[in-house]
Structure 1
Amino acid sequence: MSAGLSRKQKAAIIVRLLLAEGAVLSLQDLPEGLQTELIRQMSDLRYIDRATLKSVIDEFVHEIEDIGLVFPGGIEDTLSILDGSISPATAARVRKLAGVNLCGDPWAKIAGLDAPLLLSTLEEESTEVAAVLLSKLKVTVAADLLGQLPGPRARKLAYAVSQTDGISPEIVEKIGRSLADQLGTRPPKAFDEDPVQRVGAILNASPAATRDDVLDGLHQDDTAFATAVRKAIFTFADLPARVQPTDIPKITKDIDQAVLVTALTAATDQLEDVVEFILGAMSKRLAEQIREEMSERGRVKAKDGEAAMTDIVNQVRALEVTGELTLIEEEEQ
C-alpha cells in the first residue's frame, strides 16, 4: 500500500500525522536543505487513505524498534551530551581542533555570555556588527551595556541600530554564528569570580592585622586594584556606613547574645562608633541589658573579640545573599 511512496513522502506523512496529534517537533534543527525538501513534499501530497497511512506508520514503527542506540551527528552535539562529564578546557580544545561551527541558535549562546565579554565585543567589533549584537540582546542588558560605553561610541551604535531594518535574517544569522564561534574559542575561565572579589573574600576572612598589612602592600604595588579590593571588603568597622539601622535587629536576632557582648566589648576602645551604632538601633531595654553585660564581661582577648566580630559580619553577608538586607553602596572617593 505504501510501496509506491518514496522515503521522503513517507517522512512527510509521519511529520503531518505527528503535528496533527499535537506533537512539538524541533524541525528548525534540521539542515536547511531538509527543511526545504520537507515543505516541498508536504505541499505535493494531497490525500492519504487510512490503509496507506497505517502501512506507513507500521513501517515507521518497525524501523524505530530496530534502532538500538542513536549517536549524535557531529562534534557539537556530542559535546552537548558529554557536558558535565568532561572539563570545559577539553571541550574548548576539541572545538578549536575540529573547527566546529556551533549549532542551534547562536544568539541564545551569546546572550548567556558574561557582561564584560559582551561589552568588550561592542567596543572592538565594527559598528555594523556591534549594532546587530546590541539589537539581539535583551533590552535591559543592551541598555546597561550601552551606558558603560564611552559617549561617542554609544551614540554611534545607537544610530547604527536605527539602520538595521534592511538587514536580512540570513546576515543576522551569519553574524551570530561568527560571534558565537569567535567568543566560544576564548579560553574558559578557571574562576567564577574576578580577582577583586576573590582577594576581597580572602581578606574578609583574614585577621585585621593581616588584612591591613596586605592592603598596604597592594596600595604600593597597584593602587587601583587595592582600591577596588577595599570596596569589595566588608568588615565590622563598616557596619555604620554600609548597613541600615533598621536592619540591626534582623542581624542580631540570630547572634548568640554572649557573642554580641564579646564583639561589642572588644570594639569599645577603637570602634566606639560601631558599638553606639548597634546599640542605638536596638530597643532601649535590650541596649541597657547588653551594656550591663559588657561592663561585667571584663577584658576580651583580641582573638576572641575578632572571632565574635567575624560572626556578626558573616551574619550580615548571609542575610545579603538571601536578599533579606541590602548593603549601602560606598560612594566614590
Structure 2
Amino acid sequence: MSENKPPDSQETALAKRVLEPVSNLERASILLMSIGESDAAEVLKHMGPKEVQRVGTSMSALNEISQEQVESTVHLFLNDVGGQTSLGIGADEYIRAMLTKALGEDKAVSLIDRILLGGNTTGLDTLKWMEARAVADIIRHEHPQIQSIVISYLEPDQSAEILSNFPEKVRLDIIMRIAALDTIQPAALSELNSILERQFSSSAGAQQTTLGGVKTAADIMNFLESGVEAEIMDGIKEVDEDLGQEIADLMFVFDNLIDVDDRGIQTLLREVSTDALKIALRGCDDSLTDKILGNMSKRAAELLRDDMEASGPVKVSDVETAQKDILSIARRMADAGEIMLGGGGGEGML
C-alpha cells in the first residue's frame, strides 16, 4: 500500500519558486549569466545603451537562482548548465568583466558604476538613452558652448544624429567649438547638470572631465551623412584651413580600408552582407576593390564581380549609405579589438 504523505515545506517552497513566473528581462539576465562572459559580451554588442543598462541592472539583482530555474530558462539553448549552481554569487566581477568586453573600458566605466553602485543617472547620462531628435530639442535654445559640451559628452554616432537636426551654420559652429574643447571643470559640469535638472535627476562628478578635441570632432564627422559632412568640412576650412586638415586626417573613410591588413579585411567580410559590399565597391578605387576581392575565396570573388557587372546603375546616395554601414561595422569591430584600423592620422585603434 502506497503512502500519500504531503510534501515537506522545503520541497513545496522549492516547487513554488521554480514555478514562479519569470519576466522576459529576468530570463535574459539568467541566460547571460549562464553562457559565460565572452558569449554574453557578444550578445550585448547588439543591444542599445538603454537595453544594456536594463539587463545589467537586472543581472546585478539576481540572487539565489535555483538549478531548476536556470534549466527551465535555457533548456533549448544550453545543455551543460548543470554545473552552474552559484548564479548571483560574485556577480559584480562577472558584470564588470562582461560589460568591459562588450563596450570597451571607456564606455563601460560609467555604466558599471550606475548598475553596481546604484547611482542615479546624471542629466548628461540620461541623454544617452534618448532619441537624437529629442536631445536636439532639449539643447536647441541653449548657448552654443553648452550644446558643444553636451554633444562632446555623447557617443559619436548619436552626436552625429543630433547635429543633423540643426541648421548648417549651427552645425559648423558646434563642430568648431568641439574641436577647441579640452577639459571641463567640475563646477561647469555641475552647472550643466543643473540646467538639465529641470527634466532629469542630476549629480556632478568630482574630477575634471576631458571632453571634445579634434579627435572627437573627427569621430562625429565620420557618422554624418556625406552631404552634411562635406558642408561642415568646407565651412571649417574656410575659417581655419589647418584645423580642417587636422580633422580630415583623423577621419576614417571607406578608402582607408586599404590600410587594414588582410586578416582584418577577412574578419570584416564575415560581418558584411554581399549586397552591401556589391553597392559599396561601386564608389571606391580599383586598388581597394582588388584588396577586398583578394581576401575572398576565388569563387566568391568571381560571383561578386559578375553581380557588379550585371547590375544596373546605382545612386550615389545608395553607395554612400552602403559604405557608411560597412564603416560602422568596422568601427564596432575595432572598438571590440577584433580588427585594427589604420590610415587617417595614424591612430592604431578607433
Superposition TM-score, scaled by structure 1 size: 0.40
Superposition TM-score, scaled by structure 2 size: 0.39
